A and B are shown apart, each in its own frame.
Chain A
Amino acid sequence: MGTSVQMTPLCGVYSENPLCYLLSIDGFNFLMDCGWNDLFDPNLLQPLSRVSSKVDAVLLSHPDILHLGALPYAMKHLGLTAPVYATEPVYRLGLLTMYDHYLSRRECSDFDLFSLDDIDAVFQNVTRLTYSQNYHLTDKGEGIVIAPHVAGHLLGGTVWKITKDGEDVIYAVDFNHRKERHLNGTVLESFVRPAVLITDAFNALNNQLYKRQRDQEFIDAILKALNADGNVLLPVDTAGRALELILILEHYWSQQHLSFPIYFLTNVATSTIDYVKSFLEWMSDSIAKSFEHTRDNAFLLRHVNLIINRDEFEKTAEIPKVVLASMDSLEVGFSHDIFVEWATDARNLVLFTQKGQFGTLARMLQVDPPPKAVKVTLSKRVPLVGDELIAYEEEQNRIKKEAALKASLSREEELKASHGSDTNAPDPMEVDASTSYVSSGSGLRSAGHLDVFIDGFTPSTSVFPMFPFFETTAEWDDYGEVINPDDYIIKEEDRDQASMQILHGDLDIKIEEGSARLLLDLTPSKVASTELTVQVKCGLTYMDFEGRSDGRSVKSIIAHVAPLKLVLVHGSAEATEHLKQHCAKHVCPHVYAPQIEETIDVTSDLCAYKVQLSERLMIDCMCTDIGDYEIAWVDGEVGKTDDMLTLLPLPSAPLPHKSVLIGDLKLADFKQFLASQGVQVEFAAGALRCGEHITLRKISDASQKGGSGPQQILIEGPLTEEYYKIRKYLYSQFYLL
């Protein structure tokens, strides 16, 4: 029997909710994606919380909130501890996406589901893989190989292939078979006959316009608004589809020499583009090629300006402009604020490029007809003033004093302790030193940093201490300076500020001035909210730039991949049901669309055993080359050597077997072939008329579509020379075994 495979959806089936599925292969539990929605609704994670401790590995497929948003929360609060696997761009852009979401949320609320620290902690845990890297799991997962493959849709997007004992389980959600400006199409079609395919029904009911036409309409809509003196807002994700839009705009702007400014406004815009510039090897062939030939990095942007805070944006000139701002949901972030500001002007245009998540402002605006007015909450973090500030400062001072007192006590203790070991230290100065420290009040935290050893600096010993001289006696052991843990204990109140500082030091992320201001802003602040109703007068348009394969292509790709078992997830109930019906009829009989927390068993009912092919058998094998395959007919007797079944040649001459014709006849191709051989040939009533009297037809069994069962071909005609000639040509299309 084959490998046992079970699958339990935790979120995101029969709906467009975030994706999160538990896939268990021979007892090894993979968590496929760990998404959340833009509203960060903890209720969605209920099913996950029940299984999170069982998870052995997390595989991420795309760097957006729907695929990895819940990771920090799950790691912090739900007891998820498994190692995470993702491609380099998913890791990097996912990290930036999380930062952007956190900062946007933080700007307008006291967001406390997770902190920047939690995000960092999660992403430190990620093992980064490259496309088609076969990664062999160890320990519990011994024998399982995971490999990411190109998915399209987002940079670094992954179709996961999990292999055990030669059986493939493929997880392919949100793939795109079309080549785009910055991404290659998915390689999903190159997988054939996997044991299980898990895919989404998200787009099963959507069909797309042609790319060129769509691009043109997109640009036309934008230019129309700009020329009418309006502004254009494109609500985008942090580091996903925004990249494609940026390239489209760049391209048209430089082609048409347009001068309208374009702004890319997220909390992490500059970092995003900096990192994206170094991900050329993950992008489309044409981008890689243009770099190899001219060393022009496609993301060296000439027309798009990167902005990371609101103030800077306010300073931009008051002329018609295009703004790509996060988030795409319009719930929070720059896009929210700008929308509120611009919605009331009929000249402006809000152009959605992605279907909004359910329950978000973007989704509300995408209905037809659009609402006349929407209620929004405008929240802003404002500095405290007046009484509030005084109260806050008093509180802070009290805390500080307590802390200082505590620190001075511990400091004295420490000094006493170090005094014992450090006999060189001049005695009388010591007390002064410690007291002056505390009294200087330069902050307890800085005390720990004052005597940092500077590399290459050797203090001169010939100089005697002079007044005012502070000999800081630090204790040293094998690991360096002895650290007083109390110095590093962070008070609850300013944890966030401190964590941001840690982030500043620890991470190789550029903290842009804007976010740095937000992060390191020590001025006490609070969130002020105002509810208001916005009259929506601006233009609202939705164009599909989601970069997913459309319904028709999804169907044909699934039919081509032809999995033995198919599992459908993520998509509205109608779409899921539609695709299920379709696939059950045309692809394979085993189509599953489980409900949340419904465990389905997709263990393949395939029987298989292994035999060793003996050399003697192989000598007599006459292999025929057919494309990638070599095929031969074997007759063998089963023998046994060292517990292995071995196939030996038969002792006597084998019985003749029924001959097998191998090949796939396409009547149209065959017609061309015959024509090239000088035979008169035409299609008539579904059959191919060859020469005078011969007809050739394929007897198709309607119920057996999707390449199952052998082809039935009928050739008829009178007994003539021509008949045998055509038959000869027909035979030449097949391999006989």
Chain B
Amino acid sequence: MASAMTAPGSVLKRKDSMASAPVREGDQLIVTPLGAGNEVGRSCVYMSYRGKTVLFDCGIHPAYSGMAALPYFDEIDPSTIDVLLVTHFHLDHAASLPYFLEKTTFKGRVFMTHATKAIYKLLLSDYVKVSKVSVEDMLYDEQDILRSMDKIEVIDFHQTLEVNGIRFWCYTAGHVLGAAMFMVDIAGVRILYTGDYSREEDRHLRAAEIPQFSPDICIIESTYGVQLHQPRVIREKRFTDVIHSTISQGGRVLIPAFALGRAQELLLILDEYWSNHPELHNIPIYYASPLAKRCMAVYQTYINAMNERIRNQFANSNPFDFKYISPLKSIENFDDIGPSVVMASPSGLQSGLSRQLFDKWCSDKKNACVIPGYVVEGTLAKTIINEPKEVTLMNGLTAPLNMQVYYISFSAHADFAQTSAFLNELMPPNIILVHGEANEMGRLKQKLITQFSDKNTKILSPKNCQSVEMYFTSEKMAKTIGRLADKTPEVGETVSGLLVKKGFTYQIMAPDDLHVFSQLSTANITQRISIPYSGAFSVIKHRLKQIYESVEAPIEEPDVPTLIVHDRVTIRQESENYLTMRWSSDPIGDMVSDSVVAVILNISREGPKVTAVAEVEKTQEETAKMAHKVVYSLLVSLFGDVKVVEEGKLIVTVDGNVARLDEKNGEVECDNDSLKERVKTAFHRIQSAVRPIPLSAA
């Protein structure tokens, strides 16, 4: 196995030439991030092995808009992709899917989990409505999303599916409801794509599973790099403390959070905290997301994808039926009269309600803004974490940033401890880092290299469009079954039969067994043709004998004159006016029958004229001489420098390599193995071309 990095793009363009000159030290596996390579956002990873192509995720970059937000789809030919697997519904993992399905030549199949599919539609419809870009900049519209829904197929956790020889299944990833890690198995090489995952169980989600099998390649997220999360209890305490103290001082708390995913977790925390603190009951909590409200039905239905805790609660009452949290439609409906807690999207404070509230509240130092998760580079939320003195408002004015800014990460991404434990458990020989900001990823890579220094593990962090090539020698095992396998052959025996390949499994069987072990069936076509002929039957016999070695009358005497040519073609004189010819279809039979037809027609045309043909019996020697001549001239045309040394010995010289060929037995002596092989093969082919086709084979 070897791996190498090449300049961006070059491999993909070289793909065709690679196919024509196959590399024999193994099959090439290519992994190319089209997005999320050394960045966070627009996750999209291309993978190809043995002619099968898989694309993982299809996201957009939240910090850009329009075409610029898409992954680099130009680098690939969408029509070649067999399977597209989407890990979860977040925009940076799924939002370019309608574009990819509707606006490109993609014609493969798309899979995601049930919950992801249900939320995907709501989320993207909302995204289309909210994103304020001009019509021509729109990547897709509502209709495209609806159409894409029909093309998306669902997969359940652990369910194994096979498409085109690609087997894949998914594990719980723990990041959000329905989030999955995909394991793909192509011809025995396994690739794990984690997507976003978390190994920590929280209020409603399960922790990511550790796959049963170790993958050959692990494509893993590195969002948090080498950072470590605080324990969940401490985080939750900080969160509730900050909120409690802010509102008790009369301030307002803004929590910019993405509508789905972490928001549900935070709401569960807040609702529980409020119910334990009666003194807070008069402080309203608003959750400004009609979208989340619509998604509640999904959360209530797919409880089987959540952890035991929430399922137990579910048995008594719906835990997502919050007591202290009221929905907020828009800023117009919001009475900003006193302390309150508002959770609003988007999480990056780019625009929308969270930004409107931020602009309103940022200059009052009593207020607080709690950033509860990972924030993408280039967004305002990222900027205010560094607590600048001033911020630019949406209307272009600058305002002082007096409000308290807290960053308490509830992000359900793995931290370094989880990542390293996860990889330690799996021990993949190849690790590819994606979905992480370049610096974080670099640090993680260094740390992992130290950790796995004695394990010969390759750790790679390709940039966008930079391909990673690896080579896997997959053993092709075939199972010989049926009649052919009556006994296991000894070394040196030959095995001849049909090699049947389905997916990546091979079977060798006798043609007669084909229908037993596959859905295919074989057929015999018997042909019977009648030929007008009114001459004497013996004339035909005479003519045929001149051409064919074996022209026999059948052993048991038939009622009408009959001839059998080479045990293949039976000719019968059915009446005075016509003959019938019967044979079973195959190339040789067809050829023989054609020639017989030609002979018979010629006889009819020529009439009774029978010419005695001189029996020119060529001597064996002459034939051999002739053959030798042909062999020689063909070899010259192939290799150029060919010399006859002695009787039956030839010397072929190519680029200074000398090969000696013994014409009698086909033996070749040569130091250069490849030349030896070539000369040998060429000689065999010439031999079979020069000699007549042996009709005896059956």
Question: Is the CB–CB distance between A665 and B294 below 8 Å?
Answer: no
B566 to chain A, nearest CB (A): 13
Question: Is the CB–CB distance between A607 and B491 below 8 Å?
Answer: no
The interface stretch among A54-62, A177-185, A386-394, A634-642 is A634-642
Q: Mark B500-518, 1 if CB is under 8 A from A, else 0.
A: 1111011010011011111
Which residues of A (637-684) have their CB < 8 Å from a CB of B? 637-640, 645, 647, 650, 652-665
Question: Is the CB–CB distance between B118 and A662 below 8 Å?
Answer: no
Question: Is the CB–CB distance between A631 and B528 below 8 Å?
Answer: no
The interface stretch among B79-87, B426-434, B441-449, B478-486 is B478-486
Question: Is the CB–CB distance between A707 and B480 below 8 Å?
Answer: no
Which residues of B (414-473) have their CB < 8 Å from a CB of A? none
Question: Is the CB–CB distance between A661 and B118 below 8 Å?
Answer: no
Question: Residues of A contacting B267 with CB < 8 Å?
Answer: none
With A612-B475, A661-B585: A621-B499 Cβ-Cβ less than 8 Å: yes
Question: Residues of A contacting B657 with CB < 8 Å?
Answer: none
A588 to chain B, nearest CB (A): 10
Question: Is the CB–CB distance between B302 and A281 below 8 Å?
Answer: yes
Chain A residue nearest in CB terms to B156: A130
Question: Is the CB–CB distance between B118 and A292 below 8 Å?
Answer: yes
Cα distance A360–B607 in the bound complex, in angstroms: 91
Question: Is the CB–CB distance between B587 and A713 below 8 Å?
Answer: no
With A293-B121, A634-B495, A638-B492: A629-B520 Cβ-Cβ less than 8 Å: yes
Q: Is A717 an interface residue (CB 8 A)?
A: yes
Question: Residues of A contacting B22 with CB < 8 Å?
Answer: 619
A50 to chain B, nearest CB (A): 35
With A633-B498, A665-B523, A713-B523: A295-B528 Cβ-Cβ less than 8 Å: no
A105 to chain B, nearest CB (A): 24
Q: Mark A194-231, 1 if CB is under 8 A from B, else 0.
A: 00000000000000000000000000000000000000
Question: Is the CB–CB distance between A638 and B494 below 8 Å?
Answer: yes
With A628-B502, A629-B501: A611-B301 Cβ-Cβ less than 8 Å: no
With A631-B501, A716-B529, A718-B530: A607-B490 Cβ-Cβ less than 8 Å: no
Which residues of A (277-300) have their CB < 8 Å from a CB of B? 277-281, 288, 291-293, 295, 297
With A293-B149, A611-B478: A715-B528 Cβ-Cβ less than 8 Å: yes
Q: Is B282 an interface residue (CB 8 A)?
A: no
Q: Is A478 an interface residue (CB 8 A)?
A: no
Q: Is B476 an interface residue (CB 8 A)?
A: yes
Question: Residues of A contacting B157 with CB < 8 Å?
Answer: 130
Q: Mark A358-381, 1 if CB is under 8 A from B, else 0.
A: 000000000000000000000000
Which residues of B (519-544) have their CB < 8 Å from a CB of A? 519-532
A283 to chain B, nearest CB (A): 11
Question: Is the CB–CB distance between B523 and A610 below 8 Å?
Answer: no
A609 to chain B, nearest CB (A): 5
Cα distance A662–B520 in the bound complex, in angstroms: 7
Question: Is the CB–CB distance between A147 and B160 below 8 Å?
Answer: yes
Question: Residues of B contacting A734 with CB < 8 Å?
Answer: 523, 525
Other-chain contact of A510, B311, B315, B496, B522 (Cβ < 8 Å): B315
Cα distance A715–B578 in the bound complex, in angstroms: 18
Other-chain contact of A133, B158, B497, B529 (Cβ < 8 Å): B158
Cα distance A462–B44 in the bound complex, in angstroms: 62
Among A132, A608, A632, A655, residue most surrounded by chain B Cβ atoms (within 10 Å): A608
Question: Is the CB–CB distance between B526 and A713 below 8 Å?
Answer: yes
A350 to chain B, nearest CB (A): 34
A713 to chain B, nearest CB (A): 5
The interface stretch among B187-195, B623-631, B686-694 is B686-694
Question: Is the CB–CB distance between A607 and B512 below 8 Å?
Answer: no
Question: Is the CB–CB distance between B161 and A612 below 8 Å?
Answer: no
Question: Residues of B contacting A193 with CB < 8 Å?
Answer: 516-518
Q: Is A606 an interface residue (CB 8 A)?
A: yes
Chain A residue nearest in CB terms to B523: A711
Question: Residues of A contacting B316 with CB < 8 Å?
Answer: 510
Question: Residues of A contacting B605 with CB < 8 Å?
Answer: none
Other-chain contact of B24, A278, A279, A615, A708 (Cβ < 8 Å): A615
With A88-B304, A645-B489: A607-B519 Cβ-Cβ less than 8 Å: no
Question: Is the CB–CB distance between B117 and A292 below 8 Å?
Answer: yes
Q: Is A166 an interface residue (CB 8 A)?
A: yes
Q: Is A730 an interface residue (CB 8 A)?
A: yes
Sorting the interface of chain B by its residue count into under 10, 10 to 19, 20 to 34 or 35 or more gives 35 or more
Cα distance A297–B475 in the bound complex, in angstroms: 48
Cα distance A612–B479 in the bound complex, in angstroms: 9
Question: Is the CB–CB distance between A712 and B521 below 8 Å?
Answer: no
Question: Is the CB–CB distance between B499 and A134 below 8 Å?
Answer: no
Question: Residues of A contacting B482 with CB < 8 Å?
Answer: 606-607
Q: Is A509 an interface residue (CB 8 A)?
A: yes
Question: Residues of B contacting A633 with CB < 8 Å?
Answer: 496-499
Other-chain contact of A637, B478, B494, B499, B587 (Cβ < 8 Å): B494
Q: Is B303 an interface residue (CB 8 A)?
A: yes
Question: Residues of A contacting B487 with CB < 8 Å?
Answer: 607
Question: Is the CB–CB distance between B491 and A133 below 8 Å?
Answer: no
Question: Is the CB–CB distance between B304 and A655 below 8 Å?
Answer: no
Question: Residues of B contacting A629 with CB < 8 Å?
Answer: 500-502, 518, 520
Question: Residues of A contacting B297 with CB < 8 Å?
Answer: 291, 295, 297
Q: Is A508 an interface residue (CB 8 A)?
A: yes
Other-chain contact of A130, B159, B479, B490, B587 (Cβ < 8 Å): B159
Question: Is the CB–CB distance between B161 and A638 below 8 Å?
Answer: no
Question: Is the CB–CB distance between A613 and B506 below 8 Å?
Answer: yes
A642 to chain B, nearest CB (A): 11
B154 to chain A, nearest CB (A): 7
A260 to chain B, nearest CB (A): 29
Question: Residues of B contacting A132 with CB < 8 Å?
Answer: 159-161
With A631-B499, A719-B597: A613-B489 Cβ-Cβ less than 8 Å: no
Question: Residues of A contacting B233 with CB < 8 Å?
Answer: none
Q: Is B4 an interface residue (CB 8 A)?
A: no
Chain B residue nearest in CB terms to A730: B525
A685 to chain B, nearest CB (A): 17
B74 to chain A, nearest CB (A): 30
Q: Is A129 an interface residue (CB 8 A)?
A: yes
Question: Residues of A contacting B117 with CB < 8 Å?
Answer: 292
Q: Mark A690-714, 1 if CB is under 8 A from B, else 0.
A: 0000000001000000011111111
Other-chain contact of A710, B154, B303, B314, B523 (Cβ < 8 Å): B523
Question: Is the CB–CB distance between B501 and A635 below 8 Å?
Answer: no
Cα distance A269–B399 in the bound complex, in angstroms: 60
Question: Is the CB–CB distance between A662 and B160 below 8 Å?
Answer: no
Q: Is B212 an interface residue (CB 8 A)?
A: yes
Q: Is A723 an interface residue (CB 8 A)?
A: yes
Which residues of A (154-170) have their CB < 8 Å from a CB of B? 166
Q: Is A131 an interface residue (CB 8 A)?
A: yes
Question: Residues of B contacting A301 with CB < 8 Å?
Answer: none
Other-chain contact of B311, A147, A508, A709 (Cβ < 8 Å): A508
Q: Is A493 an interface residue (CB 8 A)?
A: no
Cα distance A731–B586 in the bound complex, in angstroms: 10
Question: Residues of A contacting B491 with CB < 8 Å?
Answer: 638-640
B68 to chain A, nearest CB (A): 30
A123 to chain B, nearest CB (A): 14
With A147-B160, A708-B515: A660-B477 Cβ-Cβ less than 8 Å: no
A126 to chain B, nearest CB (A): 14
Question: Residues of B contacting A113 with CB < 8 Å?
Answer: none
Chain A residue nearest in CB terms to B695: A656
Question: Is the CB–CB distance between A653 and B684 below 8 Å?
Answer: yes
Question: Is the CB–CB distance between A631 and B479 below 8 Å?
Answer: no
Question: Is the CB–CB distance between A291 and B301 below 8 Å?
Answer: yes
Cα distance A507–B698 in the bound complex, in angstroms: 72
Known: A277-B301, A647-B495, A718-B532. 7 other contacts (CB 8 A): A278-B304, A280-B114, A610-B479, A613-B478, A650-B494, A660-B522, A710-B524
Which 8 A/B pairs are nearest by Cβ-Cβ distance?
Answer: A659-B586, A133-B158, A711-B523, A716-B528, A607-B485, A630-B501, A613-B476, A508-B315
Q: 17 pairs across A/B with beta carbons < 8 Å?
A: A132-B161, A133-B158, A134-B169, A147-B160, A288-B154, A510-B315, A610-B477, A613-B506, A628-B502, A629-B501, A634-B499, A638-B489, A658-B698, A663-B523, A719-B529, A719-B597, A723-B529
